[in-house]
Chains A and B, each alone.
Chain A
Amino acid sequence: MLKAKIIVRYKEGVDDPEGKTIKHALNLLGFEDVEDVKVAKYYEIKLSKGDENEVEEIIRKLLVNPVIHDYEVRVERI
């Protein structure tokens, strides 16, 4: 068994409207020192047989649009 932990985030320089909205909300809640919020998506994927190559293929075929996204991946044997 294999567990892949994948974080998909916007590339540097790509606008993050959700982050901006959350920053604004936090400022209104009194956290005036909040300067920036970035939002990312986190996936945990369990594979019964596959390897790192399959994880990369999953990321490339569905999880990421390389025009706007960077990703980080960590694979654990379980």
Chain B
Amino acid sequence: MKVAILQMEGTNCEEESFIAFRDSGFEPEYVHINLLKPGDLEKYNVLFIPGGFSAGDYVRAGAIFAARLKAKIWKDLKNFVDEGKIVMGVCNGFQVLIELGLLPAVDGISDEPQAALMVNDSNKFECRWTYLRRENDTIFTSKVPEVITLPVAHAEGKFVAPNKILEKIEEQKQVVFRYVKPDGSKADYPWNPNGSMNDIAAITNPQGNVLGIMPHPERAFFWYQHPDWTRKKREKGDGSLIFKSLIKYS
């Protein structure tokens, strides 16, 4: 399973992501957008867009990264998704996938965004651990228990979509994770850190091969990255289970 980890000015989670993929049995490689040419994606099974502040988050988070990808390799990207290969975006990467129209893509890939990840309700950068409830069965979550903890770190993570789109997302079981309280019940602030509609933290496309997730699985890869590591025994970090699920699928 070859993984292309996309880089651009301002991405900053590529190293943790590289380690997470490598230690889970994938073969990751860095690919910088400036060196990316049409046809380059063909040899990869997974395209990963890491977190960070691509292009300084100017205009809107992820908008410039998305516009540049679209200008360079839009056709290749669409083919990649249509062939059923895996695309995964974390945090800033999720914002890019939304801006591209690869998510939520309720009726297939759309040329215009169908949703937005907008400024948090708190108008602040929210950096905290969140509790996430696994919602629907996907290739990314087969090894994930019902509730896990992962950290968020973003200023623009509030998932919004027109009602019609939101209904379709729910109907087509595209929600992968919802923010919840520690006991698993419905979240309010600060458990839902940004005010996302329906407490959405992660979604896939209807086919289930494109995942966008605001919290960072690569930042909870090792057991000692969890703040409660002295109290709760884990063999691996919760985030590693997502990578483990994916490698099992391949």
Contacts and interface: CB of A to CB of B under 8 A. Distances in A.
B20 interface: no
Interface of B is mostly: loop
Contact of B160 (A14, A20, A63): A14
B60 A17 contact: no
B119 A17 contact: yes
B81 interface: no
B103 to A, nearest CB: 12
B122 interface: yes
A24 B160 CA distance: 24
A61 B70 contact: yes
A70 interface: no
Q: Interface residue tally of chain A, by bracket?
A: 10 to 19
Nearest to A63: B59
Contacts, number: 40
Contact of A68 (B112, B116, B195): B116
Contacts of B119: 17-18
A17 B70 CA distance: 29
Interface in B97-123: 99, 112-116, 118-123
Interface of B: 59-60, 63-64, 67, 70-71, 99, 112-116, 118-123, 160-162, 195
Interface of A: 14-15, 17-18, 20-21, 60-63, 65-68
22 contacts: A14-B118, A17-B119, A17-B120, A17-B121, A17-B122, A18-B119, A20-B123, A21-B123, A60-B112, A61-B67, A61-B71, A62-B59, A62-B67, A63-B59, A65-B60, A65-B99, A66-B112, A66-B113, A67-B116, A67-B160, A67-B162, A68-B118
